[in-house]
A and B are shown apart, each in its own frame.
Chain A
Amino acid sequence: MSLFSELRRRNVLKVVLLYAVASLLIIWIVKHAVSGEVLPSWASEFVMLLLLIGFPVAVIFAWVYEITPQGLKKGLDVDQTQSIVYKTGQKLNAAVAVLGVLGLAAIVGERLLPEFELVRPEPVEEIPLRPVYDAAEGIGVPREITSYSMSNGLRIIVWPDYDIPNVVMYNFVRAGGRNGYPGITGLSHFFEHMMFNGASKLEPGEFDRIMEAAGGANNAYTSKDLTVYQDWFPRSALTTIFELEGDRLQNLDIDPDVVESERGVVYSERRQRVDNDNFGRLYEQMLATAFVAHPYQFPVIGWPSDIENWTQDDLESFYKTYYAPNNCTMVFAGAVSPEEIFQLADRYLRPIPAQAPPPPVRTVEPEQSGERRLLIETDARAPLLHIAFHAGSATDPDTQPMSLLLNILAGGTSSRLHRLLVEEEQIALAVGGMQMEGLDPGLVYFYLTLPPDADVDAVEARVLEELVRIGTFGVTTAELQKAQNTVLADSWRELATINGKASALGKFEVFTGSYENLFSMPEEISAITAAELRTVAAKVFQRKKMTVGVLRAPTGVEQ
């Protein structure tokens, strides 16, 4: 009797086959459990090890033992005439067949249903972000983003992302520097401060104490167009955030004592950002000079005399008008589902009544028809040179080409102006460029820090020469591609965090009319041509649309 036939008689071979098929099936299931994060990643190796250890045990077991009607017996003790190894073998065959069919079905099913996964305890959707190089194809609007407009006009957008157990809330309030006028300049910014200073249910300071005790942090900023409130918090604080936000949107307490104390804080902020900061001083005067009619001329933080003198009535009417649900857009990104947000919003935000829409900003800046210049003399050690040109609003077709032009001119150490002025000719210490992408037409703005002994006029002439050059000769294909790649890569970096997601969605919603435009931006950027850049440069960089500001130490010539 050969070893082989004995192996066969004792069903050892069938057990080996069954073991192999069952093992494959187990490994398949575990692999999917690991990839679905139901099991930790070491589980595959662990199960493999168990199966390997189990194999010789099963073989020896099959060799030594035999199944009989009386139960399990050692093969040597079994009367061979009574042996039912044959029947057991048939059962084993059946088991192999069943498991084989199961395995086959699983593999076929996997092919046919590519999205099949073991169900996770929480929805953990990942947004597949494709590399910038594929951006030309567009990425489409991620399906998981949901938006909703409540009956009181409040707009809510939710982008679920379970990467970290945190949530970000941005509330974009359409109240900014452009909503000011002489007497109340800076009021929108002052409200940014007052919104933390108590509501009907809360003492001054309670808002922050409750939020921080729940693990949250907050901040806010005011721009020429908007006041934006930001909360960063763990998921567990979600209800607290709605309680706090709902309360201050409806019941802000404008306590006269608190107003007086907060005037001091804002004044300190003004000293910090404007009066003791040369960039801030020059920037304030640049806008006051470039705009003669439109309220972009007013400093967002307010003129000192307005900070000192706005009245209780000014504050109350501003709050009622601008802090209305129909004037706000709330964006949530992070470990939340739209359903959760909408339920909470229904409870805490729906009861807030809508108000008459704020008065529109009617004034349109008349076209500038000649360059404007200003000089600030102060004890500056290094002169500053700012050069601005009137340009479009956020939705102007020239705005995206201009963002690429600014990148080519002043974005990074390989940009034209940095390379020429800072590295090669060494006539500037630093150069930067930006554009106001606002609700109304704004400025394209260059700012330079010069060495203490600089010839400011010569630097200005040099900058203008380069701006004329780009309007005349355009840009190279390599420059265009670099700018496109940089703008797009920056956009991916922004979308790598829940904070960036909330911020980007909200900005696109408020400035362009729909958050969905965020996702067509890559396509639009990739489609811009070098010819367009030259046209836009020639159109914007004109002396008659220019404002030039210099801040430097007194020269003594005047004395």
Chain B
Amino acid sequence: MSRRYLIGLAVLILWLAPVVYADDVSLPVHERVELANGAVLILSEKHDVPLIGLEAVVRGGAVTDPDGLNGLAGLLAGVMQKGAGSRDAAAFAEAIEVVGGELSASAGLEGINISADFMSRDGELMVELVTDLLRQPTLASDEVIKLRDRSINLITAAKGSNPGNLLPGYGNAFLFGDHPYGNPINGSETTLANVTHDDLLRYYDDHVGGDRLIISVVGDFNIEAMKTRLTRAFGDWRAAAVPLPTFIAAAKNIGRRVLLIDKPGATQTYFWIGNVGVAVDYPRRADLNLANTVFGGRFTSMLNTELRVKSGLTYGARSLLRRPSKPGAAVISSFTATSTTVEAIDMALAVLAKLRDSGIDDDMILSARNYIMGQFPPRLETASQIAAQFAWLERYGLGTAYIDEYGAELAAATRNSIAAVIDQVYPRAEDLTFVLIGDASLIREDVSQYGTVTEMSIDEPRFRP
């Protein structure tokens, strides 16, 4: 009788056993809690290593910077780490580093992000520091001024060295103009200089609070205890004084225009060419990611093959899709020796034309699908990575299906579905915005063939011409 039971049980076990290796990706089991003030907690246990990763997002970010004060959200993120609760700036840094922890805050386009990574034994300290940083930052006047001036100097320093890092800042400012997506995330030398201590305090009251908060924690801890701790820490936090601002989508630019940023003596030209693309909730994202992988998203992409592998014009060429809540930029970006500026740009445009005319074939679709799926698991390998992924999904209201159904969507993409997406997303040859950094005296005339040229010096203390 007992044997029959066991055999029956064995059959039941076999029947219930999950498929071990699926050609798919998925998020781990987790718990989502919405507190009464609107703050959202996402928790998931992961016990393979004694680490806890935390990602907090305060919705808002650079798009909520007041006019003329671009970089304020970024400055706030920096100053929040300069003392909070009972700790001054030095003690706060010390508390993190003495246990080998990591904690940083920075502004993104649409949120302030706080990332922490601590040994599991220090989970309580981590929550305490994050709570203090968010709820009780000291925001001392001297720290504000100090960080503001240092930030200005760091922008000046960057203009003198490897200016390619500043290219997206110039690019988005020119492409989006006065739209919030044109805001330089960490400000410009001019807008930062406008910031006062009062501006920062007001911004903190207006734009930081429980209703804007998402906290995602993954790692080696107990869910119930962590939930209790976070609920106690943030459950009674006030709301931000103003509602999250809304704005409309930017329209695609019509026609061609060129911004040339002059850096005398530069031996290479950095270029950024594109138009307004799509938003994060673009429904055909699997088709789009396949297209972008093939076009400019990996080493053997069409762009890198032509500009680097076949012609040796550059060290790297790629296509980038910025996808925030409203349509962001869809661009091609690369750099080349000053003397081959036109050759490289023409080649990039020819590759874009080829993508739009011919689309991508079935072999390439299969290759790109394998590539995306093959490279996906390491992106969700650590507690911190998974925490950041949960926070991002929550920030954009995407739900876990965004990851869990990704494999199926990739598998369903076809030549035709991808061709339709390419036509929608990638800019037409006649509607392109060009942003170049280089030695204007050597390329000014040549690049005027691409459209009306606006010129500015890299030493001008702003990113918008």
Is A485 touching B298 in the complex (CB atoms < 8 A)? no
Contact indicator A268/B314 (Cβ below 8 Å): yes
B308-A271 in contact (CB<8A) = no
Contact with B along A274-287 (1 / 0, CB 8 A): 01111100000000
B255 within 8 A of A: no
B247 within 8 A of A: no
Query: In the complex the two chains form, is A213's CB within 8 Å of B367's CB?
Result: yes
Q: How far is the CB of B426 from chain A (nearest CB, A)?
A: 21
* B299→A208 contact, CB < 8 A: yes
- Asked if A324 CB lies within 8 Å of chain B CBs, one says no
Cβ of B309: which chain A residues have Cβ within 8 Å of it?
204-205, 261
CA distance A422 to B82 in the complex (A): 13
User: Which of B21, B154, B161 is the most central at the interface, judged by chain A CB atoms within 10 Å of its CB?
Assistant: B161
Q: Which of A95, A415, A496 contacts B51 (CB under 8 A)?
A: A496
Contact B266 A98 (CB under 8 A): no
Measured in the bound complex, the distance between the Cα atoms of B48 and A160 in whole Å is 14
Is A489 in contact with B101, judged by CB distance below 8 angstroms? yes
Q: Say yes or no: A482-B381 contact (C-beta < 8 A), given A166-B374, A213-B366.
A: no
**A102 vs B266: C-alpha distance in the bound complex, in angstroms?**
81
What separation, in Å, do the CA atoms of A411 and B265 have in the docked complex?
Answer: 34
Asked if residues A209 and B300 are in contact (CB atoms below 8 Å), the reply is: yes
A39 contacts across to B, CB distance below 8 A: 13, 16-17
A379 at the B interface (CB under 8 A): yes
Q: Is the CB of A121 within 8 A of B20?
A: yes
B160 at the interface (CB under 8 A from A): yes
A38 touches B17 (CB 8 A): yes
Q: Of all chain B residues, which has the CB nearest A490? A: B100
C-alpha spacing A99/B98, complex, angstroms = 56
In angstroms, Cα B164 to Cα A496, docked, is 32
Most B Cβ at <10 Å: residue of A214, A263, A378, A493: A493
Tell me the minimal C-beta distance from B458 to chain A in angstroms.
Answer: 9
B5-A452 in contact (CB<8A): no
Residues of B within 8 A of A132 (CB): 50, 100, 119
Residues of B within 8 A of A322 (CB): none
Which residues 1-34 in B have Cβ within 8 Å of A in the complex? 1-2, 5-6, 9, 13, 16-18, 20-21, 29
A138 interface residue per 8 A CB criterion: no
> Looking at the complex, which of B87-95, B178-186, B354-362 is the stretch in contact with chain A?
B87-95
- What chain B residues lie within 8 Å of A481 (beta carbons)? 98
Answer whether A131 and B162 are a contact pair too, CB < 8 Å, given A232-B375, A429-B153, A496-B382. no
Q: Closest chain A residue to B375 by CB distance?
A: A217
Q: Decide yes or no whether A467 CB sits under 8 A from chain B.
A: no
In the complex, the answer to whether B98 meets A478 with C-beta atoms within 8 Å is yes
| Given known A-B contacts A26-B5, A414-B93, A452-B153, A212 and B378 have beta carbons under 8 A apart | no
Q: Let me know if B312 and A382 touch, CB within 8 A.
A: no
Residues of A within 8 A of B160 (CB): 278, 379-382
The answer, yes or no, to whether B311 is at the interface (CB within 8 Å) is yes
Bound form: Cα–Cα A102–B264 in Å:
86
Q: Report if B150 contacts A (CB, 8 A).
A: yes
Mark contacts of A109-133 with chain B using CB atoms, 8 A cut-off: 1 yes-contact digit, 0 otherwise.
0000000000001100010011111
List CB contacts (< 8 Å) of B313-359 with chain A: 313-315, 335-337
Contacts of B268 in A (CB 8 A): 268, 271-272, 275-276
User: Which residues of the partner chain A approach B313 to less than 8 Å between Cβ atoms?
Assistant: 264, 268
Is B49 interfacial (CB 8 A cutoff)? yes
Known: A129-B49, A267-B337, A268-B337. A163 touches B373 (CB 8 A): no
Q: Give the docked Cα–Cα distance between A451 and B149 (Å).
A: 10
- Nearest neighbor of B94 in chain A, beta-carbon distance: A414
**In the assembled complex, how far is the CB of residue A417 from the closest CB belonging to chain B, in whole angstroms?**
13
C-alpha spacing A430/B156, complex, angstroms:
13
Contact check, B50 vs A131: say whether CB atoms are below 8 A apart: yes
CB neighbours (8 Å) of A129 from chain B are 48-50
Partner of B370, one of A164, A213, A498: A213
Chain B residue numbers with a CB within 8 Å of A99 are 2
List CB contacts (< 8 Å) of B114-161 with chain A. 117, 119-121, 146, 149-150, 153-154, 156-157, 159-161
476-529 of chain A: CB within 8 A of chain B = 478, 481-482, 485-490, 492-493, 495-499
With A165-B21, A217-B371, A496-B381 already in contact, 5 other A-B pairs whose C-beta atoms are closer than 8 Å: A41-B29, A265-B308, A275-B267, A487-B100, A496-B51
Can you pick out 26 interface pairs between chain A and chain B where the beta carbons lie within 8 Å of each other? A102-B2, A130-B50, A164-B381, A205-B305, A205-B309, A205-B310, A209-B300, A215-B370, A216-B371, A217-B298, A218-B299, A234-B370, A236-B374, A265-B308, A268-B312, A271-B268, A272-B162, A379-B264, A382-B156, A411-B97, A414-B90, A422-B150, A449-B157, A452-B157, A482-B97, A492-B49
Q: Could you tell me which A residues sit within 8 Å of B by CB distance? A: 22, 25-26, 29-30, 33, 38-41, 43, 95, 98-99, 102, 121-122, 126, 129-133, 163-166, 204-205, 208-209, 212-218, 232-234, 236-237, 260-265, 267-269, 271-272, 275-279, 378-382, 411-415, 419, 422-423, 426, 429-430, 449, 451-452, 478, 481-482, 485-490, 492-493, 495-499
B residues in contact (CB < 8 Å) with A? 1-2, 5-6, 9, 13, 16-18, 20-21, 29, 48-51, 81, 89-90, 93-94, 96-101, 117, 119-121, 146, 149-150, 153-154, 156-157, 159-164, 264-268, 298-300, 305, 308-315, 335-337, 363, 366-367, 370-371, 373-375, 377-378, 380-383, 459
